[in-house]
Chains A and B, each alone.
Chain A
Amino acid sequence: MNSPANPDTRTLSEFESKQRLAQGGVPMGSEKLVDNSTEAVIAAEEFGFPVVAKLCGDAIAHKTERGLVRLNLRDAASVAEATDALLASAQPEDGARGVLIAPMVGGTRELIAGTLVDPTFGKCVMLGIGGIFAEALADVTFRLIPLSRQDAEDMIANLEHQSWFREFRGEPEVNRDELVAILLGLSRIAQNSEEIVSIDINPLIISEGSPIAVDALVEVKS
């Protein structure tokens, strides 16, 4: 989908975006791109249930709003049904490539992380508290690329809601080293690419203390 704010860019598909990030050293959750419900069930059985199914295409941005994400699929039958339904609901302009099957990542806390180009300061890394209260909390911090390890650690420490990173409703505290690795990876990828305009990892779910990138979009120059 061309971003309406910038007609000179396009976004890569979720699958391609994640591959790009994984190659650049940002750890990504495991997933598989499948073409039909038979492959979907095989993938789901390999991962173990429950899984998530998402329609994947070159031009799909607002998957959740369009009902193109099916969570918590607990058996083969619901995986097959969801896959068929997602493929059937694809519009020609979506540029659909198939369905992504991924293990269901459990966790109540979400972060957002990414990169962007600021008109004054150039390439930056962003980290913020995500989830349904993200806008209300507006707890976001930025650093210029390239990030040092200290910069990445400082980003986490500078967020307003530090209690959010500690033990939380029976979940362990957030693994800061893993989060630092993600931020440094984002910095490296954006620094080394002439083509990337922005990266948006949302959500980055905290599962058993580990941040797992569940969805990502990379925006590149057209």
Chain B
Amino acid sequence: MNNAKTLQDRFQPLFDPKGIVIAGASSHPGKFGFVAAHNVLSEGYQGKVFFMNREGSEVLGRQALSSLEDLPENEADLVFICTPPRTIPDMLRISARKGIRAAFIAAAGFGELGEEGKALEEELARLANELGILVAGPNGQGVISTPSDLCAQIIAPYPPRGHIGLASQSGGFIQSLQNYAHKTGVGVSRAISAGNCAHTGLEAFLEYFGVDDETRVGLTYVEGIEDGRQFFEKARGMTEQKPLVVLKGGATSGGQRAAASHTGALASDDRVFDGMCRQAGITRTHSLEEAFEAAASFATHPLPRGPNVFVLTTAGGWGVVTADRLTQSRDLELMPIPEDLRAAFDERLPPRWSRNNPADLAGSETRDTVAECMRLAAGHPAVDAIIFLGAGIQSNLGLMEKNGRFYPEFGLERIVDFHFRQDARYAKLAVDCEKEFGKPILMATELVDCQPENQAPAGMIERGVLAYPSSWRAVTALEHLYQYAHWRKRRELPALQ
């Protein structure tokens, strides 16, 4: 793993710097140079922090250096540059002399403006190579790294700690994905808004994610690919280690026109890109929420060992629609219920339960029925994955009763408490069963969106395990898990840890 060591070493100053200097740090709260300084200090970065601006003025109560020349040597290894394009070459030269090994360039005004800007980018890349500095950007919105509490970005939010590595050609998507991380509790390891990728391409970040111990899954937004072969090779290098989720902008002619003006990307046949993804074991997605949910699923659920899905539900209609979705799936199977599992359910449920898959408990659950049935299904050797529907409905009612005019009289206090406790137990149950049996158990309920404080989704958010706003989306995520597991199996790659 010498290559892994080299890669880790190369990206360490960007993602785990021992010190950072913000060039162009500003005292004006409306400027990027202020926001970057604010976020680095405010989110708790523990390394050394230096500010630099031409005036040498104070920023957030700290004295700024008036030149990078005044920076002490070997105290910082990352420079975050918020100054205009023409100042950048000199900044990089001085930085290199001061022991800095990585630079993030936020400034716009490069390849996205056409030929002249492209030439500037090429010059930047040449200089970076000459100086031995890793350059990210330009036209990017920042870098974050939760293991180092580093929030060097000019956007919000700072996501919780976790295992998704984000690399995007659009800073806006980094923001969106971090918002999802914040909302779902499924956190991020590293995030890079790679901008125009003048020196360090997306594929290089993906290659790094492949060997980064903090990252369990990569998620990348791509518009243009300069060297398709290199992207393919590096992406496949990563997927042999861990999953990679891709959202591609510019899949249609309308999208391609938009992409050309956004990052200067060139068009290629989308069907070739699609085939490349399948060949490289890349999880291709077609919307932001699908992309995040796929990555968050990889980060928090085990891979299914086979296609057989069992649906456990407390109400009929949800199960029926989920059965339709599974039947249409090209990958997954709505498995027939095994005889011994049916018999075991019969012992615990009144006769009105569905006696089939989906197992509709038909409101017949008592205190421990759901837990017992889930453990039986998860423990059955024929079941590869479970979709769990109906969690949260008791607390949904409980909340209404609690807010109603009769609470806490007439026994309401006691029953509301019971409802809340039950749903809290279901979240714990889903996560515990998944761990114990090593099979994905996906909870789906609209309450994830409609009432995230409800005990069932809240219990999942608290544990940092993804729950799904609909069974449709849970099945889509499960398809992605299955496809990747299947890709690995067919290529005789070892099972993931």
Contacts and interface: CB of A to CB of B under 8 A. Distances in A.
Contacts of B490: 150
Interface residues of B, number: 17
A141 B232 contact: no
Interface of B: 225, 228-229, 232, 266, 268-269, 271-276, 278-279, 490-491
Nearest to B233: A144
A154 interface: yes
7 contacts: A119-B268, A121-B273, A141-B271, A141-B274, A143-B276, A143-B279, A154-B278
A191 to B, nearest CB: 13
A144 B491 contact: no
A56 B274 CA distance: 36
Specify the main secondary structure of chain B where it touches its partner: helix
A122 interface: yes
B269 A158 contact: no
Contacts of A158: 275, 278
B491 A142 contact: no
Contacts of B273: 120-121
Contact of B232 (A121, A142, A150, A155): A121
Q: Which residue, of A120, A142, A150, has the highest number of chain B Cβ atoms within 10 A?
A: A120
Given A144-B232, A150-B491, A120 B272 contact: yes
Contacts of B276: 121, 142-144
A58 interface: no
B268 A121 contact: yes
A46 interface: no
Contact of B272 (A124, A148, A150, A155): A124
A94 interface: no
A140 interface: yes
A151 interface: yes
Given A143-B275, A144-B229, 9 more contacts: A119-B266, A120-B273, A121-B232, A121-B272, A142-B269, A143-B278, A144-B275, A150-B491, A151-B279
A140 B229 CA distance: 21
A131 to B, nearest CB: 19
A91 B301 CA distance: 67
A93 interface: no
Contacts of B278: 143, 154, 158
Interface in A149-166: 150-151, 154-155, 158
CB-CB nearest 5 A-B residue pairs: A121-B228, A142-B275, A120-B228, A120-B268, A118-B272
B245 to A, nearest CB: 19
B260 to A, nearest CB: 14
B283 to A, nearest CB: 15
A150 B490 CA distance: 7
A135 to B, nearest CB: 14
B271 A142 contact: yes
A148 B493 CA distance: 15
Interface in A105-157: 118-122, 124, 140-144, 148, 150-151, 154-155
A187 to B, nearest CB: 12
B275 A141 contact: yes
Contacts of B229: 121-122, 144
A141 to B, nearest CB: 6
Contacts of B266: 119-120
A151 B491 CA distance: 10
A151 B228 CA distance: 18
A122 B228 contact: yes
Contacts of B491: 148, 150
B67 to A, nearest CB: 43
Nearest to A128: B271
Contacts of A140: 271
A120 B227 CA distance: 6
A148 B279 CA distance: 9
